[in-house]
A and B are shown apart, each in its own frame.
Chain A
Amino acid sequence: MECFRAFSSELLKMRRSWAFTLSIAAPLGVTLLIFLLAALDVPNKEWNDVWIFYLRGIVWSWVLMMLPFYVALLLALIASIDHNAAAWKLLLAQPVSRPPLYVAKLAVACLLVAWSNVVLATASLALGFLLRRLRPDMGNFGPGVDLGHFLAMLALAYVAGLLMIAIHAWLSMRSSSFVLSLAVVIFAVIPNFLGFQQEQLQKHWPWLFPFDAVRLYGLQPRDTILHFWSIQHLSIVSVLGAALVTSMAIWDFSRREAA
């Protein structure tokens, strides 16, 4: 019951917050960017299936470029609501156990990331139909959108990203510094862009789990048992990892002294 009360309280704090604004602006930004690139593109050839080209571009941009930075910034913004209001001394002096306070904040973060996926999906489809109307010359828009495939990719990326969310939740609750959160994600992601990391390491790198999940699901034949198992494996590691990190974070939070 305390968890629900704390969750309701945390939800109220999201009103007019930068975190909520970001949860809409980030997916909209990615969608608009890909839409504009597609709409302004002068292709050398006609695409066989423009929907696949367009939606894959959005999902890949989202999970590889945006999601790690978005999660880091979102969690820092959520925690900053209490850091900046010097609210810990008020919240921790309430007749409420400490674990629900932490879990509620994490739950709101997970909810906002899920909400961002909804915004991304809705905006992608809306702008996709607009693209078909504006640029029928781009190629074959095919029989229609493979909505199930698209949503499955987003859902898998979300589950695979839970460990990353848990890590940044702990980090941002511990420190009010945005710089620290962003430094961690830059350190974690940039080397992969530059191809500095070994493939073996990449497979165990939480910040790349969403990308791996999409890569495994989106690039390979969908009915391949081997790859389907890999996605399950990735999801289980992410969920169990998130549970472990959150347990340690709650232990840490419960011992925290409000300065």
Chain B
Amino acid sequence: MHAVTGLNLSVRSGSVYGFLGPNGAGKTTTIRMLLGLIRPDHGSVTIFGLALSDHRKGILGRIGSLVEAPSIYPRLTGRENLQVLTRLAAIRTRRVDHVLRQVGLLDAAHRLAGQYSQGMKQRLGLATALLNEPQILILDEPTNGLDPAGIREVRELLKRLAAESGVTVFLSSHLLSEVEQVATHLGIIHRGRLLFEGTLQELQQTRSGHTVIRTNDPHKALELLQGQGARCCLVEGGALHLKTSEPELAATANHALVQAGLRVYSIESRSQGLEELFMQLTVNESD
């Protein structure tokens, strides 16, 4: 049993790549391999076209990372936490204030990191990841343990970073709604295999939406539309689900219902959210 098998991710420069998968799908294992924290049993890890095993320092020098909970020294101040890394990795010291400003922690830089709130710790973790002016920012579940305000903070920060600094963000998360709001590209992994890779629009194109129709007589409406060959069903609450989000087909159905003397209360076209698409993909794969 392998945690990850034959994974080949294409992350475009400047994009925000959402790396999605249910728990145990292999997301964290993939990220740890990308950072050289664990070794693959077979094969090699290649980033920037270079093998990690042969060019470890060169590659890691161009990557910033935050894997799960941030690594924070609680008895050091925020600034000292960053200085630990500037000293270790020979990073210019003026970067410290720059990244503190970027993540909005400059005013709290003199305080002990142990006194920071969870959101501040997460931002400090992001600051450590940004310290070496990375080309790729690898973030594993960066909003874990944050309250809604903290999640929003991190989300806005990531958007800003991608827009202003042009940094490529590789973001793994189980909060699908979060990824949907930030990512420009997606990779969906399940049981160690990549199920989908592309933009959100490309994903939605592969999966159709549906139209919800409410009438005064749902059973008669169902009978009528099914008689005309439409794929539809009744759902709880008496609504009719027409398995298409094409406006033309919805209009045709509406016309048929009105012609048959039924009263149509509402017609609502719904495209699938990322969450539904994700569930559909991974559940299908499990089956």
Contact = CB atoms under 8 A, between A and B. Distances in A.
B52 to A, nearest CB: 11
Nearest to A17: B75
B42 to A, nearest CB: 16
> Which 8 pairs of residues, A with B, have the shortest CB-CB distance?
A95-B61, A90-B71, A9-B88, A87-B71, A258-B37, A95-B57, A9-B87, A93-B35
B36 A9 contact: no
A92 interface: yes
A96 B61 CA distance: 9
Contacts of B128: 90
B155 interface: no
Contacts of A97: 57
B73 A93 contact: no
A89 to B, nearest CB: 5
14 contacts: A8-B87, A13-B76, A81-B73, A86-B68, A89-B37, A91-B88, A92-B36, A92-B37, A93-B60, A94-B88, A94-B89, A95-B57, A95-B89, A96-B89
Contacts of B58: 95
Interface of B: 32, 35-39, 56-58, 60-61, 63, 65, 67-69, 71-76, 80, 83-85, 87-90, 112, 128, 132
B60 A95 contact: yes
A6 interface: yes
A85 B37 contact: no
Interface of A: 5-6, 8-9, 12-13, 15-17, 81, 84-87, 89-97, 257-259
Given A13-B76, A15-B80, A81-B73, 19 more contacts: A5-B88, A5-B90, A9-B84, A9-B85, A13-B84, A17-B75, A85-B74, A86-B71, A87-B71, A89-B32, A89-B67, A91-B88, A92-B35, A94-B89, A95-B60, A95-B89, A96-B88, A96-B89, A257-B39
A93 B61 CA distance: 9
A81 B76 CA distance: 11
Contacts of A13: 73, 76, 84
A93 B89 contact: no
Pick the most buried of B67, B80, B87: most chain A CB atoms within 10 A of its CB: B87
Given A9-B88, A86-B69, A90-B128, A258 B32 contact: yes
Contact of A257 (B38, B57, B63, B132): B38
A89 B128 CA distance: 12
A46 B57 CA distance: 67
Given A86-B69, A95-B89, A96-B88, A16 B76 contact: yes
A17 B36 CA distance: 29
Contacts of A5: 87-90
Contacts of A259: 38
B36 A93 contact: yes
A90 B89 CA distance: 12
A257 B41 CA distance: 13
A98 to B, nearest CB: 10
Contact of B37 (A6, A8, A84, A93): A93
